[in-house]
Structures are given as structure tokens and as C-alpha cells.
Amino acid sequence: EAEHQARSERDEAEVKRIDLSETVLMLMAAGMDPLTSGMFPWYEAPMPESLHRAEVLLRDLGALKTAVDAAHSAGSGSLTSAASLHSGSDAMPIASMSEVSPKSRSSITELGRKMADFPLHPRYARFLIEGDRLGVLPDVALIAALSQGRPIYRAAREERVRREQIRQIEDHADARSDFFVQIRAYELAQAAKFNPNACAALGIHGGASRQAGAIAQQLLGLAQGAGLDTRAAALPDLAERICRCLLVAFSDHLCLRNDRGTRRCRMVHGRCGELRRESIVESELFVAAELEERELCGDVTVLLGLSTAVEPAWLEAAFPSDFSDAAETVYDPVARRVQSRRERRFRDLVLQSKDQGEPDTDQAAELLAAEVIAGNLKLKQWDAVVENWIQRVNFVAQHCPETELAPIDDEARALIIGQICHGALSYKEIKDRPVLPAVKEWIRSEQLYYIDTYAPAEFTLPDRSRPSRIRYEPDGRAIIASKLQDFYDVPGSQLRVANGKVPLLIELLAPNQRPAHLTDDLDGFWGGAYQHVRKELAGRYPKHEWR
């Protein structure tokens, strides 16, 4: 019943839930523009984020371009002849822009129109076209079928079956792609005529394998209808060509290991993931055809499956305009220092980074200050004394404008922190630097008098051996706290600050040091609320003086 009541009144519109890349490509091929606001009459408009994701994917696949891409249009839209497909020529350059400017308008490429002829998701249409270009269309069709249907093969948990899987399947598969393991499993299932028992002995799903074969034939039929060459060819570099096709289809899933000893990776478009343990791919750079979000130890991890190794040269050949080189000064959170690097990027993914020597000191100060402001680094001497002094300055600036004191607001804090960080390159250099002198430099020397006079740090009570500290709050209040008995002989008129403009808020403490009453009118308290407070506390603390 609770689940029923929690359900929404109606299902969310499908256009708000699905991947829109196929829809967008079809509309663009028909001469319509669903990406520019107000240019297409949606019955129910999709989320802008969904349209953005579709546009980025189609650009990555080379189906769309912008005015910025026009200079590279020969790479993004041109198709080579069938003769060159089988000659081992480099993969077709694709000019795709990952970052979509909100002011740019996309247009469809020649390649995009060819992709739109297929009743398939654009990724797999692009995959088949590249398979045709490189002469490996039958293999690509099978991989497309294997990646879309039910999994035909999984590593077994039973040790005996696992040993047989490794001996008969994985040891015979090219280690450059997990798909080669799937293809080997399919070939064994096909040889066994998809017999369920024979397949199950090796952890292969016979029914799913048969279905994958049927889907592959359907895809080849579609490709043949589109004029692609579906003939199989014996090629010495067959595995490499298949890997290149997978790169073109899944370039938006490009991953780079954090280092050789880990499965954790950085991905294009600012994502992170972890390579599945059962993957046979050991390459530092790879594409993953399968992304699965899974919650592990309270954190959401993207598991990367069906991976394929990528050679940097393939990436350069296929996407020459998606590379950039830049010298940057950045803060390294691991080393906790500012470094100057020259970075080689594919889209937004840093592939190579080289140290460029000592960074500019002004930039270094800005970056270190930004980390301090964000709370990632702590200045050890920025303590309660510093904060109280800042509040005293702000108190005088608020209540005594005639002093012309400038308050220390967030902007001023940032400037002060930047000054403290000046000349440093690392956290080690700034963590113990003195803070209070830098904060006091915000005030002109002749104005320091106003701070000490109008916002004193403490107040002397006659019956107390040490002065009581005054606490200045961000809201403009000034508070003094001490035992109730300490205020017996203190005139209320003396408990004022800001040149007499602001009464102190008095926190009268019980003998146990807990607040018993709060007032800004001490004289009024003695003639009023004190009787109630004394009645309540005198019985509990009879040894203390109660007048």
C-alpha cells in the first residue's frame, strides 16, 4: 500500500526517459532542428540535458558538426571507396567536438546521413559503417549482436569449469579485446550446434548464442540493403581492424588507467570507472562497450566491461581534431603543491602530462589560496584569535561608520589568504605561516585604535580575577559571559561598546558554568528576572552568594 501511494499519478513521458540520439539523428536527416530551442515543435519537450547528451554523442560519432567543425568537414563527412577499405588504410578521420557551445548550431554530416539510413542506434550504425570501411563487416555485425542481446558467456565460479573456460576459450582469444573471448565462446557454441548441455559445460548460454547469430544475420541484411560489402575476407590484421572499429564506435567511452597497477580509470567527459576483474585487456588505454553503475561500500562505481585495447596512433588517425596541447599551471592534490605541466588531451581526457619546471608564483598563490578557501587546505594559525579579531573589525565597521573601517568580508578574506600564500608553491610552505599580522595589515595603522577602543577583546569585572573575553558575532552582537555573581557590583551603563552605542549582551552563568539568563539590560535584570533565577538556583547551590 505504501508503494502504491508513493507512485506518481502518471508515468513520466518517454521522451524524458530515453536516449534521444537516434531520434535527434532522424530529425536532423529530415531537415529539422530538434537541438535549437524553439526550432522544433515538441509535443512534450525533453530535458535539455538529454538533448545535450544526444548532441555530444552524435558529434563524437561524427554524425554532426558545427561551424567550428567546418574546417575539418572533409574528415567528418567523407567516405572512402570500397577499394581503399581493404587496402589497410588508416581509419577515417572524424572531427567531433565534445564540448558543445550553447551558441553553436549543429548540422548533419554526410556520414550522419548514411548512419540515419540504418534503423539502429547511431553507435551501431557507425560501427557497421566502419566495419564495412575496414573490410570486417561480418565480424562487426556479430560483435554488435553480442553486445545488444543477453550475455552469452560469463566467467564461472566453479573451479573445474573455470579451468576449462580458460583452456578452451580465453587462452585462444586475442588479449586485445574482451569481445574476442565472446567470439570464441560463440564459435564453440556454434560448433556444438548450440546444444544447451554442451554449452553449459563451458559457461556458455546456448540460447543466447543462437539468438546472437540470428541478430548478426539481420544486421548483415540491413547492411547489404544499404549497399555495404558483407563478404568475409581473410585479413592478416583482422583483430586490429576490429579493434579500430570498436574505437570509432565507443570513443566516448575511452578510458585511461590511473597507473599500470590499478583497474581504476579516468574517462572522457570527466567520468571515472573501474575495469572489471574478469577483463583480459591489460592495455593502459582502452574503450569499454559496457558501463554499469554499482554501489560499492556506499560509493557509486562505474564498472567497465567488454573492453578493447586502443593504440594511441589509432586514436590520432581517427580523431585528429579532438586532440589539444596546452601548458597549464595546476594544483596537484596528491603532492599538495602547484605544478606547471604541458598536457596532451583527447577531448577533455589528459593522456600525457609533462612537468614544465617552476610555475608562475602569482598563479601558484591563486591556486593555493583557492584550495584554502575551499577548505581543502588549512592554515594552522588561522585560529579562534584570528576569527575574533576579524569579527571585531566587522563590528566596528557596522556600528561605527564614522571610523571608515572596511569590513573583512569573503572577498577580503580571499585577498588576505592570497597574500599569505604569495611566493609559495606548496602547502608545506604555507601551513605554518603567521596569519594575524596579515589580517591586521588590512587595517590602516591609525585605525587600529578604533578596534581596541570600540571593540575591546575583553572587559574587566571587579569581582573576577581575570578579564572576561568579549565574543563578537557575525550578526553584529557583542556577548560577554561570566558567573552571575561577577556582575553584582557592575553598573549596567558600563557594559557598552562601539563608543557607547551598543549594549553588551550578557550571558549570566550558573555556578556550573551553564547559561542561566541572557540580557542586554543588567539593571533591569536585578529588578525583575533575577528573583526568579535566584529562587531556582539558590537551593541547588547554597554555598554561593545570593543577594
Q: Can you give the three-state secondary structure of 32-68, one letter per residue?
A: CCCCCCCCCCCCCCCCHHHHHHHHHHHHHCCCEECCH
Asked, for residue 339, whether it belongs to a domain, the answer is no
In whole angstroms, what is the distance from residue 17 CA to residue 50 CA? 8
Indicate whether 400 and 429 sit together in one domain: yes
Indicate whether 181 and 208 sit together in one domain: yes
Burial of 201 (0-12, 13-18, 19+ CB in 10 A): middle
Q: Identify each DSSP E strand in 209-336 by its residue range.
A: 254-257, 264-267, 272-275, 285-296, 299-309, 323-332
Domain count along the chain: 4
DSSP code, position 426: B
- The whole-number pLDDT of residue 320 equals 94
Asked, for residue 28, whether it belongs to a domain, the answer is yes
Indicate whether 448 and 507 sit together in one domain: no
- Alpha-carbon distances, residue 352 vs 111, 257, 285, 333, 360 (angstroms): 31, 12, 12, 18, 21
Indicate whether 314 and 177 sit together in one domain: yes
Asked, for residue 273, whether it belongs to a domain, the answer is yes
Indicate whether 262 and 153 sit together in one domain: yes
pTM value surpassing 0.85: no
For helices 238-249 and 122-133, angle between their N-to-C axes, nearest 10 degrees: 150
Domain boundary among 401, 424, 454: 454
- Alpha-carbon distances, residue 181 vs 176, 193, 427 (angstroms): 10, 18, 48
Beta-bridge partner residues of 332: 337
For the beta carbon of residue 523, count every other beta carbon within 10 angstroms: 13
Indicate whether 211 and 292 sit together in one domain: yes
Q: Write the CB contacts of 433 (distance below 8 Å, at least 6 apart in sequence).
A: 379, 381, 420, 424
Domain boundary among 403, 430, 454: 454
In whole angstroms, what is the distance from residue 223 CA to residue 229 CA? 8
The b-or-e profile of 357-392 (16+ CB within 10 A means b, else e) is eebeeeebbbbbbbbbeeeebebebbeeebeebbbb
Written as nine digits, the cell of 280 is 583480459
Domain boundary among 278, 303, 318: 318
Amino acid symbol at 255: C
Amino acid symbol at 496: R
Indicate whether 200 and 258 sit together in one domain: yes
Asked, for residue 239, whether it belongs to a domain, the answer is yes
Indicate whether 66 and 203 sit together in one domain: no
Asked, for residue 323, whether it belongs to a domain, the answer is no
The answer to whether the CB of 304 falls within 8 A of the CB of 290 is yes
DSSP class per residue in 454-472 = HS-SEE--TT-SSPEEEEE
Indicate whether 173 and 247 sit together in one domain: yes
Indicate whether 311 and 406 sit together in one domain: no
For the beta carbon of residue 535, count every other beta carbon within 10 angstroms: 10
CA dihedral 278→283→284→287, nearest 10 degrees, is -70
What residues make up the domain containing 396? 384-454
DSSP class per residue in 284-300 = SEEEEEEEEEEEETTEE
Indicate whether 420 and 503 sit together in one domain: no
Write out the chain's pLDDT in tens, 547 residues: 566 566 666 666 666 667 899 999 999 999 998 888 767 777 777 888 889 999 999 999 999 998 554 444 444 443 333 333 333 333 344 444 444 454 568 899 999 999 999 999 999 999 999 999 999 999 999 999 998 888 899 888 888 888 989 999 999 999 999 999 999 999 999 999 999 999 999 999 999 999 999 999 999 999 999 999 998 888 999 999 999 999 999 999 999 999 888 899 999 999 999 999 999 999 999 999 999 988 766 677 899 999 999 999 999 999 999 999 988 899 999 999 999 999 999 999 999 988 888 899 999 999 999 999 999 999 999 999 999 999 999 999 999 999 999 999 999 999 999 999 999 999 999 999 999 999 999 888 889 999 999 999 999 998 888 999 999 999 999 999 999 989 888 898 899 999 999 999 999 998 888 998 999 999 899 888 988 888 888 878 888 888 7
Indicate whether 464 and 445 sit together in one domain: no
Asked, for residue 95, whether it belongs to a domain, the answer is yes
Beta-bridge partner residues of 181: none
Asked, for residue 377, whether it belongs to a domain, the answer is no
**Whose CA is closest to 478, among 496, 461, 462?**
496
Asked, for residue 545, whether it belongs to a domain, the answer is no
Beta-bridge partner residues of 458: 469
